[in-house]
Amino acid sequence: MDLAWDEHGQGEPVLCMHGFGMDRSVMAAAMEPVLGLRPGLRRIYVDLPGHGESPAGPPDSAGVADAVSAFISGPLGGGPVLLAGWSYGGYIAAALARRRPASVSGLLLICAGDKLLPPGARELPEPPGEPGPEHWLDDVPAGLRDHLATAIGNRTAGVAQRVAAALTASLPGDEEYLERLRSGGYQLPDEGDAARYAGPACLLTGRQDRIGGYADQFRALGAFPAASYSVVHEAGHYLPFEQPAAFRALVLEWLDNRVTPVLQGRRPGSVRRPGSVRR
């Protein structure tokens, strides 16, 4: 299927996947301040099926993973690629690393659930004992306040405004399709597979992430023998915006743990791809 995507720079490809209900602009806002610091990276931001400018697609997450796999095989030439995924995008990225490890040169999972369990079955941090600073959510849209009160761990007005700005800039996607996916086909049939990904991996979590948690990701480390794991204090599900300095340092360390191919006489640039490109 056709997936919408943006591309920046040239060199080793880094495919970045956003969370559920977001679009590629949110992932770019989180990743570009970091990835843009390293020359020789071709940063690709894709809208998952039914998100942003990508059309509705397969009825389940297995089909979503297949669509991204086809994207790697098509416009990205089959890999190998670095994969970076946030939340649901990380869930899909981990599936791709299990299924086609030879095509994945490195894996970055940001606040990504190991298993898509219903909220009552997840091991999540306790809710904060205090409501947070007075008026810290006053300057964000009313429709986001309940979500941000749960999702943000660094509970300040500045963080809330950064997260809200990224979310409100995101295109809404196909809400009917997303609801069908959420209610009927969210969980991957192979999420508990024993396959291991032996490449350089980095698992980043927020100590106050009351959506994805951090404990299940630690228990998943057996599937990633070359992985580092970090839990960042005063960070929730929007870790890249809540603790940008810590996020930058950890992502750069992950990048430094693998060899960057040398650009062969090509100049860095930026290309916008509002739709997919097929070969």
Q: Give residue 38's pLDDT.
A: 95
- Strand ranges, E, within 151-217: 201-206
The model's pLDDT over 218-247, given as tens digits with 9 standing for 90+, comes to: 999 999 999 999 999 999 999 999 999 999
* Domain annotation covers residue 26: yes
Q: Give residue 268's pLDDT.
A: 36
* Domain annotation covers residue 279: no
Q: Which residues contact 114 (CB under 8 A, 6 or more apart)?
A: 94, 191, 216, 217, 219, 220
Backbone angles phi, psi at 162, to 5 degrees: -65, -45
Q: Give residue 116's pLDDT.
A: 60
CATH of the domain at 177: 3.40.50.1820
* Domain annotation covers residue 49: yes
Q: How confident is the model at residue 34 (pLDDT cuts 50, 70, 90)?
A: very high
- Average pLDDT for 174-203: 91
Strand 81-86 vs strand 227-232: parallel, antiparallel, or unpaired? unpaired
Q: Which residues contact 242 (CB under 8 A, 6 or more apart)?
A: 152, 153, 154, 159, 163, 206, 234, 235, 236
Range of the domain at 18: 5-273
- For residue 6, CA distances in Å to 3, 40, 67, 88, 236 come to 10, 17, 17, 19, 27
DSSP state of 2: -
Q: Give residue 129's pLDDT.
A: 76
- CA–CA distance, 118 with 229 (Å, rounded to integer): 24
- Other beta carbons less than 10 A from residue 221's beta carbon: 14
Q: How confident is the model at residue 91 (pLDDT cuts 50, 70, 90)?
A: very high
Whether the predicted pLDDT of 49 surpasses 50: yes
- Pick from 272, 27, 4: which is nearest to 170 by CA? 27
* Domain annotation covers residue 176: yes
Whether the predicted pLDDT of 67 surpasses 90: yes
Whether the predicted pLDDT of 261 surpasses 80: no
* Domain annotation covers residue 278: no
Structure tokens at 152: 């943000």
The model's pLDDT over 105-163, given as tens digits with 9 standing for 90+, comes to: 999 999 997 776 555 667 899 888 787 899 999 999 999 999 999 999 999 999 999 99
Count how many domains the chain has.
1
Handedness of CA 2, 8, 14, 20 (dihedral sign): negative
Q: How confident is the model at residue 193 (pLDDT cuts 50, 70, 90)?
A: confident
Q: How confident is the model at residue 259 (pLDDT cuts 50, 70, 90)?
A: low
Most confident of 14-28, 183-197, 251-265: 14-28
Backbone angles phi, psi at 137, to 5 degrees: -105, 10
Whether the predicted pLDDT of 262 surpasses 90: no
- Other beta carbons less than 10 A from residue 214's beta carbon: 22
- CA–CA distance, 197 with 29 (Å, rounded to integer): 28
* Domain annotation covers residue 38: yes
DSSP state of 196: -
Backbone angles phi, psi at 239, to 5 degrees: -45, -45
* Domain annotation covers residue 163: yes
Model confidence pTM above 0.75: yes
Most confident of 204-208, 222-226, 256-260: 204-208
* Domain annotation covers residue 89: yes
